[in-house]
């Protein structure tokens, strides 16, 4: 099976890191390609950024379907443009936030998301409301590090440990969801640090989960409901004249 | 006070009708201007359309603020780009869906939205979940008429009466929200028809409500919380190179 | 348009302060009169007080309608007798608690109410449950100052700042609702104090909001649903023999 | 133990029927007295009626406590003045609506209330929201018979059977709550009629349940929480000058 | 009336204490017998223990019904095997957790459960979700004492006071539910200690409440709904060959 | 990887069918073995059956872990003994009901479960409440065919089509969940029949989903949270003396 992982932002470095990471998670027999959008914003840290990255993400998704990919992951914890893309294509499209929250809801009584910045807390809470899981999400906490500074893994892991412990002790979280797809390759270290301090909880890493979940959908021939994500009507949409 | 009503779609006819309508609702002393986006989609009937109309809507909102307008209404029941615009500007920005649902929640125990097409029912339900009012919204029904055919007012009013009665009788709605800003100038006729059939319920017309609500916000010097809609960071967003 | 603001308690000083305050908020073209009830309790700080002030409030509302007023505000954050009054009259009746919570729900992801005494916290939480907004109301806090001592504005503002900061920091409130209509003329000072400490959140003042919201309803010819607030049947109600 | 059953309305016939009925339900060893209010409304069929009957109900409750009663039942499914009375006295006070909904919530997955008139449906739904049981209450239906016509038991039982079957078949109710304390002495007949038609569901009769529940509270020395129903402060409440 | 109290675990000491305790609570005229299961676990501190104690509990319940008992209490705050037993017998079966939460929901705006071990917090929260009362249950706290060590009443009472004060101050609990049926004979001491420290809240003791509630059900001829707890079909269930 | 599928009931035919079915779904590289419990009930159609099948299921799960399996599926839509098993073992344990509801929640705005008998509707609704997804589950419908008669695939498919259409048309379901693991090998036929009638919705088959989801968990090294499913304490549990 062939999977397209769309990086819904324009940073080359971020896409490169994603590319190196995702190949580790795929099953043998799965071919994964990553691609980043051409126009949009350098990173996604607001509803404003999401809005600007949506057209490019839609175009890449249409392209992936026409090239015969079996499914798509939109690699960002805001699940940007997910509804629009699911309307536009028939192959299954996975948003890491939804997928990871669902895994967390099964594995634990409660979960907490630890994300990058205060700015995206509301976005993530709204995703959980829409998905119906707000009752199980006991908090969204942030490490206060912008996406493009996530490369300092030492600083990141320390902050993640601190916030995760607060999530467990104060908010009664029974599992931890990494709240940004840029927090790559760090879940095991976080899990181990927590375990050493006596906290035996699952740490859920969104990109690997999204890929494995998409593989499951593809092999089960499942896709998004066309009653929820109805096909779009044909009419003039002149924005493409400028963007294409 | 000066209000900008943004038509977040590219149809000239729709904007013209909006312009003729809105002047009727404003208080004396309020100056209202309408403006439609330059690039996007002809009408909004899907999450896909909303995504494509968002960049143009954002640009018009920024322009309105820089031109000294006191507040903005985004004239569409999907409240497209509302979060992004509220992040980007400081003047109050009103989405007709949110405003109208809130008025309905105050005036009645329950409300039903009667909208244009099946396609937007999920969008409207998700708005109510986000706003926290899903428990009071007993149904979203549709008349199955596309936006650009709403000009046939006779057909529209008949369908609205039928669906409103179903909403009242079957779904136990105590008030009716018009579910598309294109259903202009029709609320009184619907209210009268329902009254003749024995149903004395408020009929809530989104554009006039949005304008009066915005006037109230402006006169009270209230605007969206900057803790919810945090100011956006500065970074490269190359989509504007193509769009501006 | 002519608006009657009912002070649903018997304190002359409270009504006088209300009268001086409300004229500041009305639009030009709006005529506002205040009137206090003749029999009831001196202030409202319990369900018991609300029950005792209800008959007088109802009578004033009936009188206002018969005198041709276009709408009514019941000036107390417990919205006392609101349901009964809305059943009894046809002109729109606004409760400041409901109106202010709805404005807060639109402008921010979450809100906190800061009220006078512990005693009314449950009343306010129950109003939010009934209105459907309990999920967005993250807390109700109190400054522990009885209504009739609210005239010490210095003590009041200090306590309000302290509790508002706790609401923001601990309860994650994104906006602050003043929880008593006796906290008049203080919203701007509170907003400024919070801003100086780095908290840029809306501060919602219930009486001005109620008046502006009522003006909007009147101009839109909207009133409470008669399916929710059904007209009362005719029968013997001998309490009026004693009270009238 | 001595229990006071307050009839919170002024109809002598209603009180007489209550008196004859309640003696059947009490345990041996329980002394029950009924008393009706002196001033208020003849029956309770609206929030307006509830407001008018509240002062009289409060006075009777205070009298009952001073006369050494061990507990109070307010005999109406609107639980009128319950919060105020619970603030004012220390002995346990039971509202039949709350008590019966709680029994229903334990005995069945879902319940439906079948009440007298459309007019009180919203009141009953609001009680369930406040109590936290709205999710289990699948519907409130009405037989459309005013309180004072409930004496025609034949008409009542037929309508109750019809509405109960609709509640079970359409609303998926697993138990039936009688929605007016005036529906006395009829629960067994309704239960039998339903059983003959193949519906084996509990039928919950509010007055007997309220009495037995109050007996349990008294014997367990339990009463309402004084943190929820805080003692009222002392101040001028001039309404008593007219009413006492 | 005759009541069977089933101790759904195998500890002889626990049953003995239960037996001595329950006779104090029953009304005159009620005959109470206790009986413990023969095979299962020594105490219930996990879903695993509950599963192992279920078959024995079911058998004792069937026996009680065949011996003519009028009702059953399953004496454990996990309400183990309650659904199965309610399906299998027709006489009313009471689970102390459900009954006590319902009493607490009536008497107070909010309640907190103080239980034995961290291990059972999730079980108790899931019971509240199923019952529909999770919104009113503001917390479940634990004293961290295993069931079989509850005999040290001094240690128990001190821990209960500490956790109850945290429940009131931090979680805003307005009443306290004892979270283990092994915490017998201690409610009054806890209530007094809290009162001395200024907290006037109901303390709800599950076993006495369950017995009084069951007496009420029996005298009202109420039992669990057979639409919720449908009679079980006849078929091979070979586990009884080993257990009987 | 090696997966154990436990048939938590004693029917040999059911296990045989499961065995033949599950091999079709596993990925290459996954070794799947099925095993049925030795003592319990022939099929699971009530809480009573679930209770009787729990001990056997627990024992098989412990055995699977000791034999080095990487994960377990409990093949029944009641997820019987899931909590107990998750406490007792460390390898991931999947309940088909939870897993399938989560997939449905992601793929569609709403879902409906179509199950075998009325008797299990409450069980399934309670699972959804516990999982936090009750808002998205718009109905549970039944085809009224006992588990052991599910072998008549013609009758089954016709009933499933009828109930699924009612779920879509009346309950507004956007996806269909097969509500019994005995409905094997039928999802594709149901999906096709619905598509021919114009309903393009996902049909979710619990056993294949559970297997693929478990494979994902194993490959991601994720398992249930040990804060939710805490390890059980050591003590006497004499039931094993009879059962082992």
pLDDT digits (tens, 9 = 90+) for B51-68: 999 999 999 999 999 999
| CA–CA gap between residue E84 and residue C58 (Å, rounded) | 53
CA distance, residue D45 to nearest chain F CA (Å): 33
Question: What chains are in contact with D, requiring at least 3 Cβ pairs below 8 Å?
Answer: B, C, E, F
Q: Which residues of B154-185 are buried (b: 16+ CB within 10 A; e: fewer)?
A: eebbebbbebbbebbeeebbbbbbbbbbbbbe
E129/F46 Cβ within 8 A: no
| CA–CA gap between residue C134 and residue E108 (Å, rounded) | 17
Q: Over 80: is that where the pLDDT of E85 sits?
A: yes
D72 near D3, Cβ under 8 Å?
A: yes
pLDDT digits (tens, 9 = 90+) for B113-171: 999 999 999 999 999 999 999 999 999 999 998 877 888 888 899 999 999 999 999 99
Assign E80 a pLDDT band (cuts: 50, 70, 90): very high
Chain B residues whose CB is inside 8 A of the C106 CB are: 94, 98-99, 102, 131
Residues 6+ apart with CB under 8 A from A48: A41, B58, B84, B87, B88, B232
CA distance, residue D45 to nearest chain E CA (Å): 23
More confident position, F21 or E197: E197
CA distance, residue F77 to nearest chain B CA (Å): 28
Q: Over 90: is that where the pLDDT of A206 sits?
A: yes
| CA–CA gap between residue A186 and residue A198 (Å, rounded) | 19
- Global pTM? 0.96
Distances (CA, A) of D120 to B194, C126, D219: 23, 18, 33
Distances (CA, A) of F29 to A3, A50, F2, F20: 20, 39, 9, 17
Chain A residues whose CB is inside 8 A of the F209 CB are: 216, 220
Find the mean pLDDT for residues F208-220: 97
CA atoms within 13 A on the CB side of A68: 2
Predicted local confidence at residue A28, as pLDDT: 82
| CA–CA gap between residue B38 and residue B18 (Å, rounded) | 16
Chain D residues whose CB is inside 8 A of the C135 CB are: none
Question: What chains are in contact with F, requiring at least 3 Cβ pairs below 8 Å?
Answer: A, B, D, E
| CA–CA gap between residue C34 and residue F171 (Å, rounded) | 50
Q: Over 90: is that where the pLDDT of A23 sits?
A: no
CA distance, residue E40 to nearest chain C CA (Å): 42
The candidate with the shortest Cα–Cα distance to C226, out of B154, D118, A121, B94, is D118
Cβ-based burial of D240 (10 A; exposed 0-12, middle 13-18, buried ≥19)? middle
User: Average pLDDT of chain F?
Assistant: 95
Q: What is the DSSP string of C220-231?
A: TT----TTTSPP
List E residues 134-173 in contact with D (Cβ-Cβ < 8 A).
Answer: 135-136, 168
Q: Over 80: is that where the pLDDT of C38 sits?
A: yes
Chain F residues whose CB is inside 8 A of the A168 CB are: 227
pLDDT digits (tens, 9 = 90+) for D160-219: 999 999 999 999 999 999 999 888 889 999 999 999 999 999 999 999 999 999 999 999
Assign C98 a pLDDT band (cuts: 50, 70, 90): very high
Predicted local confidence at residue F185, as pLDDT: 85
Residue of E nearest to D224 (CA): E107
pLDDT digits (tens, 9 = 90+) for D21-59: 888 887 888 999 999 999 999 999 999 999 999 999 999
Find the mean pLDDT for residues F45-72: 98
Q: Does F122 touch chain D (CB under 8 A)?
A: yes
Predicted local confidence at residue B218, as pLDDT: 97
| CA–CA gap between residue C7 and residue C43 (Å, rounded) | 10
Of the listed ranges A143-152, C39-48, D194-203, E40-49, the one predicted with least confidence: A143-152
Radius of gyration of chain E (CA): 17
D51/C84 Cβ within 8 A: yes
User: Average pLDDT of chain D?
Assistant: 95
Predicted local confidence at residue F206, as pLDDT: 96
Residues written for chain F: 244
Predicted local confidence at residue F241, as pLDDT: 96
Q: Do chains B and C touch (3 or more CB pairs under 8 A)?
A: yes
Q: Do chains D and C touch (3 or more CB pairs under 8 A)?
A: yes
A31 near A58, Cβ under 8 Å?
A: no
pLDDT digits (tens, 9 = 90+) for F61-110: 999 999 999 999 999 999 999 999 999 999 999 999 999 999 999 999 99
Q: Does D109 touch chain F (CB under 8 A)?
A: yes
Predicted local confidence at residue F26, as pLDDT: 77
Q: Does C84 touch chain D (CB under 8 A)?
A: yes
List C residues 168-187 in contact with D (Cβ-Cβ < 8 A).
Answer: none
Question: What chains are in contact with E, requiring at least 3 Cβ pairs below 8 Å?
Answer: A, C, D, F
Find the mean pLDDT for residues B21-30: 85
Q: Over 80: is that where the pLDDT of C147 sits?
A: no
Distances (CA, A) of B129 to A48, A122, E231: 21, 13, 39
Q: At what angle do helices A47-66 and B47-66 cross, to 10 degrees?
A: 150
A50 φ, ψ to 5°? Answer: -60, -45
| CA–CA gap between residue C44 and residue C39 (Å, rounded) | 13
| CA–CA gap between residue A72 and residue A84 (Å, rounded) | 13
B42 near A235, Cβ under 8 Å?
A: yes
Long-range CB contacts for residues E87-91, cutoff 8 Å, separation at least 24: E87/E229, E87/E230, E87/E231, E87/E232, E87/F46, E87/F47, E87/F48, E88/E58, E88/E61, E88/E62, E88/E232, E88/F48, E89/E61, E89/E62, E89/E64, E89/E65, E90/E65, E90/E223, E90/E226, E91/E64, E91/E65, E91/E223
| CA–CA gap between residue C185 and residue C125 (Å, rounded) | 24
D107/E227 Cβ within 8 A: no
**Interface with D, mutate which of B105, B108, B109 (most D CBs under 10 A):** B109
Chain F residues whose CB is inside 8 A of the B122 CB are: 109
Q: Does A42 touch chain C (CB under 8 A)?
A: no
User: ipTM value of the model?
Assistant: 0.96
Assign E34 a pLDDT band (cuts: 50, 70, 90): very high
Assign D151 a pLDDT band (cuts: 50, 70, 90): confident
Chain B residues whose CB is inside 8 A of the D119 CB are: none
Residue of C nearest to B218 (CA): C212
| CA–CA gap between residue A217 and residue A214 (Å, rounded) | 5
Q: Fill in the DSSP letter of residue E91.
A: S
B118/A230 Cβ within 8 A: yes
Predicted local confidence at residue F182, as pLDDT: 86
Chain C residues whose CB is inside 8 A of the A134 CB are: 135
Chain C residues whose CB is inside 8 A of the B168 CB are: 227
Residue of B nearest to A133 (CA): B129
Q: Fill in the DSSP letter of residue D33.
A: E
Q: Is A228 helix (H, G, I), strand (E, B) or coil?
A: coil
Q: Does E229 touch chain F (CB under 8 A)?
A: yes
Residue of A nearest to C110 (CA): A122
Q: Over 90: is that where the pLDDT of A27 sits?
A: no
E197 near E168, Cβ under 8 Å?
A: no
Residues 6+ apart with CB under 8 A from F149: none
| CA–CA gap between residue D229 and residue D216 (Å, rounded) | 20
Residue of C nearest to B198 (CA): C227
Q: Fill in the DSSP letter of residue A114.
A: E
Chain D residues whose CB is inside 8 A of the E132 CB are: 105, 132-133, 135-136
CA distance, residue C198 to nearest chain D CA (Å): 35
D177 φ, ψ to 5°? Answer: -105, 125
Predicted local confidence at residue D147, as pLDDT: 76
The candidate with the shortest Cα–Cα distance to D86, out of C43, C123, C237, is C123
Cβ-based burial of C234 (10 A; exposed 0-12, middle 13-18, buried ≥19)? exposed
Predicted local confidence at residue B81, as pLDDT: 98
Distances (CA, A) of F12 to E193, F55, F206: 60, 18, 20
Q: Is B35 helix (H, G, I), strand (E, B) or coil?
A: strand
Find the mean pLDDT for residues C56-76: 98
3-state secondary structure D127-190: HHHHHCCCCCEEEEEECCCCHHHCCCHHHHHHHHHHHHHHHHHCCCCCCEEECCCCCCCCHHHH
B105 φ, ψ to 5°? Answer: -65, -30
Measured in whole angstroms, the distance separating CA A187 from the mean position of its chain's CA atoms is 14
CA distance, residue E145 to nearest chain A CA (Å): 19
Q: Does B40 touch chain A (CB under 8 A)?
A: yes
Q: Report the relative pairing of strands C176-178 and C137-142 from DSSP bridges.
A: unpaired
Chain E residues whose CB is inside 8 A of the F244 CB are: none
Q: Do chains F and E touch (3 or more CB pairs under 8 A)?
A: yes
Of the listed ranges A68-77, B151-160, C47-56, C211-220, the one predicted with least confidence: B151-160
CA distance, residue F150 to nearest chain E CA (Å): 16
Cβ-based burial of E127 (10 A; exposed 0-12, middle 13-18, buried ≥19)? buried
Which one of F54, F148, F232 has the shortest CB-CB distance to E54?
Answer: F54
Which one of B39, B48, B130 has the shortest CB-CB distance to A242?
Answer: B39
Find the mean pLDDT for residues C136-145: 96
Q: Do chains A and D touch (3 or more CB pairs under 8 A)?
A: no
Give the DSSP H or E segment for D93: strand D93-94
Q: Over 80: is that where the pLDDT of D148 sits?
A: no
CA distance, residue A158 to nearest chain F CA (Å): 22
Q: Do chains E and B touch (3 or more CB pairs under 8 A)?
A: no
Q: Over 90: is that where the pLDDT of F55 sits?
A: yes
Q: Over 80: is that where the pLDDT of B33 sits?
A: yes
């Amino acid at each position: 099976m062939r999977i397209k992982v769309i990086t819904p932002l324009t940073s080359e470095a971020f896409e490169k890191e994603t590319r190196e990471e995702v190949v580790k998670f795929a099953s043998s027999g799965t071919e994964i390609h990553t691609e980043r959008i051409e126009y949009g914003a350098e990173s996604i840290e607001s509803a404003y950024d999401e809005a600007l990255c949506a057209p490019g993400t839609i175009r890449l998704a249409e392209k992936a379907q026409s090239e015969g990919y079996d499914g798509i992951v939109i690699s960002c914890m805001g699940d940007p443009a997910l509804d629009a893309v699911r309307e536009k294509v028939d192959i299954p499209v996975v948003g890491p936030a939804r997928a990871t929250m669902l895994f967390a809801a099964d594995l634990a009584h409660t979960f907490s998301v630890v994300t990058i910045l205060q700015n995206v807390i509301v976005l993530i809470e709204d995703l959980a409301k829409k998905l119906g899981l707000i009752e199980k999400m006991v908090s969204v906490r942030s490490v206060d590090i912008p996406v493009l500074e996530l490369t300092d893994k030492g600083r990141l892991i320390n902050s993640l440990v601190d916030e995760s412990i607060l999530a467990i002790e104060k908010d009664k979280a029974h599992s931890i969801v990494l709240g940004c797809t840029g927090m790559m390759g760090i879940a095991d270290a976080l899990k181990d640090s927590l375990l050493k301090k006596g906290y035996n909880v699952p740490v859920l890493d969104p990109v690997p989960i999204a890929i494995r979940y998409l593989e499951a959908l593809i092999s089960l021939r499942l896709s998004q409901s066309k009653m929820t994500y109805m096909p779009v009507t044909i009419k003039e949409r002149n924005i493409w004249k400028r963007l294409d």
